[in-house]
Amino acid sequence: MRRFLVAGNWKMHGSSEMTADLISGVARRAFDAARLSEQKELSYDILVCPPAPYLGQAANHSESLPIAVGAQNVSQHESGAFTGEVSLAMLSEIGCEYVLLGHSERRELFGESDTLIAEKFAACVANSSASIVPVLCIGETLEDRQSGDTEAVVEAQLDAVINKVGIAAFDNAVIAYEPVWAIGTGETASPEQAQEVHAFIRAKLNGLDSAIADKIRIVYGGSVKPSNAGELFAQKDIDGGLIGGASLDVDSFSGICEATQKLIENT
């Protein structure tokens, strides 16, 4: 059984105080819920992705806690005259374990192409010493969905990476399906809609390597809240969530974590 991943993307929000308070608060709540469960331990993974200035602090705070730290972006280059960029080695040195690649805001606001995202993914795979897990974000716009092009868009975003690095590179990766129309809008894909696309993604990978398709975690992102997390995560091919706004508050993020714990207990 795949282990659930509950990940928080803070985007351009946060402060030193928030970093300390949120990580300690979420960890305390997660530990408390786990102790009350039959497992007596955390049965899923928690990830936070703060803005770059707080990554080191987040890694220090989470060092002895069940919370991993990830970056929101990375350069495809190892080093050089790339003002404003951050390399995989730098992220690894301060304790990052994951990195988001291809988030819709990077694609839409900053013009990151499928080709560039594939190059960043390839850099993660090539830099084995950094050991940073790429979280590949894919998803369609409202126009794409209304035109019936959801699967074609998602497949093209996947193919750009697969054609660059091969299916074997997904052995140590996460995929985040994020319908763009459901990010920060309050709209959420129904559990059935989300499952349909997750199943399509897994079937696509299964046609290339069944072992990787069965192993890889595909998480859902798009206005996930404590009230809908359990129903979404209960779907066969949804392995957790990439949380936006609800990850900025201890109560809401912890509520999603607690819903995940309850789901595991009842499975």
- Give the CATH number of the domain where residue 199 resides: 3.20.20.70
CB 263 within 8 A of CB 29: no
pLDDT band at 38 (very low <50, low <70, confident <90, very high): low
Q: Give the pLDDT score at 214.
A: 98
CA distance 181 to 187: 7
Please give the average per-residue pLDDT across 70-85, as a whole number: 97
How many separate domains does the chain show?
1
SS3 of 215-259: the string is HCEEEECCCCCHHHHHHHHCCCCCCEEEECHHHHCHHHHHHHHHH
Q: Evaluate the CA torsion angle 83, 89, 94, 96 in order and state its sign.
A: positive
CA distance 156 to 161: 9
CA distance 198 to 147: 19
Query: Does pLDDT of 206 surpass 70?
Result: yes
Active site residues: 103, 178
Q: How many CB atoms lie within 10 A of CB 194?
A: 26
Query: Does pLDDT of 227 surpass 90?
Result: yes
Structural domain of 158 = 5-265
Q: Give the pLDDT score at 39.
A: 59
Q: Which two tokens stand for residue 171?
A: 């052995």
Query: Does pLDDT of 73 surpass 70?
Result: yes
Strands annotated E in 92-235? 98-101, 133-138, 174-177, 217-220
Q: Report the run of H or E that residue 46 belongs to, with start and end.
A: strand 45-49
- CA distances in angstroms from 26 to 23, 117, 253, listed in the order given: 5, 31, 7
Q: Name the 3-class secondary structure at 37.
A: coil
pLDDT band at 36 (very low <50, low <70, confident <90, very high): low
Query: Does pLDDT of 236 surpass 70?
Result: yes
CA-wise closest residue to 14 among 53, 47, 42: 53
CB 103 within 8 A of CB 9: yes
pLDDT band at 23 (very low <50, low <70, confident <90, very high): very high
Q: Give the pLDDT score at 33.
A: 77
Q: Give the pLDDT score at 189.
A: 84
Please give the average per-residue pLDDT across 43-68, as a whole number: 95
- Which residue did the predictor score with more confidence, 219 or 129? 219
Please give the average per-residue pLDDT across 48-74, as a whole number: 96
pLDDT tens profile 123-163: 999 988 779 999 999 999 989 999 999 999 999 999 999 99
Q: Which two tokens stand for residue 240?
A: 């957790």
> Is the whole model's pTM more than 0.85, yes or no?
yes
| Contacts for 44 with CB less than 8 Å, ≥ 6 apart | 3, 4, 5, 6, 240, 257, 260, 261, 264
Q: Which two tokens stand for residue 242?
A: 């990439």
